[in-house]
C-alpha cells in the first residue's frame, strides 16, 4: 500500500475503535466512522467492505499492539513473574492511551454471543500468561499448586471485568489502582514463601 493509503486505513481503524467503544458492534454506524475519519464512502469501501471487516481490523490491530507490548517486556530480561506484573500495567497504559482495547473487548463480547470465531481472542490473550506462570513456577516464584491455564483463564476474565467496571465508574481513570488491588488479593495465595519475603522487602503493601 502507498503511504497515503496506509495513513487513511489507520485513520479509519482509529475512528472505528471510537465508534465501537461508544456504541458497541450492533449499534455502530458506518456513517459515523466515515464522518470521524473525515473520508468519503468510496474511500471507506476501498479499505473495508463491511462492519465485520472493520471489527476484524480493530481486533487484529489490538492483538498486534498487545504482541508488541509483550515482545518489549520479554526483551527486558526480567523474571517471568515480573514480566507478568509489568505486562498487566503495560496493558493498563495501552487501554488508557487508545480505544483499540476497550473496543476489542466490546466487539468480542457482542460477537461472541453470536458464536463468531472472534471470540477466540480471549484464548489468544490467555496463552502468553499461562506460559509466564509456568515459567514463574519453574523459577520458584509461584507455587507449583497453581494451575497455569486455570490461572491465566481467570486473570483474563478478572481483567476483562475490571476494565468494564473501571469504564463505568471512572472512565478508566482508576484502572491501574484496580489492577494493583487485584495483585494485592491474588499474590498472597500464589507466591512461594521465598517470593513472599522478596516482595515484602520490595513493596511492603503489595503482600501481607
Sole window of 44-52, 60-68, 103-111, 129-137 interacting with its own copies (rule: CB under 8 A):
103-111
- Identify the sign of the CA torsion 67, 89, 188, 140: positive
Q: Does the protein bind its own copies through residue 65 (CB under 8 A)?
A: no
Nearer to its own copies, 42 or 117 (CB): 117
Q: Does the protein bind its own copies through residue 197 (CB under 8 A)?
A: no
d(CA 200, CA 184) in angstroms, rounded, equals: 12
Nearer to its own copies, 11 or 140 (CB): 140
Interface with its own copies (CB under 8 A), residue from 108, 133, 136, 137: 108
Site string for its own copies, 128-147 (x = CB under 8 A): -----------------xx-
Q: Which residues contact 55 (CB under 8 A, 6 or more apart)?
A: 16, 20, 25, 107, 111, 118
d(CA 145, CA 185) in angstroms, rounded, equals: 17
Q: Does the protein bind its own copies through residue 168 (CB under 8 A)?
A: yes
Q: Which residues pair with 142 in a beta bridge?
A: 191
Which residue from 138, 126, 125 is spatially nearest to 79, judged by alpha carbons? 138
Where does this chain bind its own copies (CB under 8 A)?
A: 21-24, 26-27, 108-110, 112-113, 119, 122, 145-146, 150-151, 153-154, 156-165, 167-169, 178, 181-182, 184-190, 208
Amino acid at each position: 500500500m502507498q503511504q497515503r493509503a496506509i495513513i487513511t486505513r489507520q485513520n479509519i481503524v482509529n475512528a472505528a475503535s471510537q465508534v465501537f467503544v461508544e456504541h458497541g458492534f450492533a449499534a455502530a454506524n458506518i456513517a459515523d466512522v466515515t464522518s470521524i475519519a473525515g473520508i468519503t464512502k468510496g474511500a471507506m469501501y476501498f479499505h473495508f467492505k463491511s462492519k465485520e471487516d472493520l471489527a476484524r481490523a480493530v481486533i487484529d490491530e489490538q492483538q498486534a499492539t498487545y504482541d508488541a507490548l509483550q515482545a518489549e517486556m520479554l526483551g527486558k530480561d526480567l523474571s517471568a513473574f515480573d514480566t507478568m506484573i509489568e505486562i498487566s500495567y503495560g496493558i493498563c497504559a495501552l487501554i488508557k492511551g487508545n480505544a483499540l482495547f476497550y473496543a476489542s473487548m466490546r466487539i468480542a463480547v457482542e460477537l461472541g454471543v453470536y458464536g463468531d470465531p472472534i471470540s477466540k481472542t480471549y484464548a489468544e490473550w490467555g496463552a502468553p500468561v499461562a506460559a509466564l506462570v509456568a515459567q514463574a513456577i519453574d523459577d520458584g516464584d509461584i507455587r507449583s499448586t497453581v494451575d497455569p491455564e486455570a490461572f491465566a483463564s481467570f486473570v483474563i476474565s478478572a481483567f476483562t471485568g475490571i476494565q468494564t467496571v473501571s469504564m463505568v465508574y471512572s472512565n478508566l481513570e482508576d484502572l491501574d489502582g484496580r489492577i494493583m488491588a487485584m495483585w494485592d488479593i491474588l499474590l498472597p495465595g500464589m507466591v512461594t514463601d521465598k517470593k513472599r519475603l522478596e516482595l515484602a522487602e520490595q513493596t511492603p503493601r503489595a503482600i501481607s
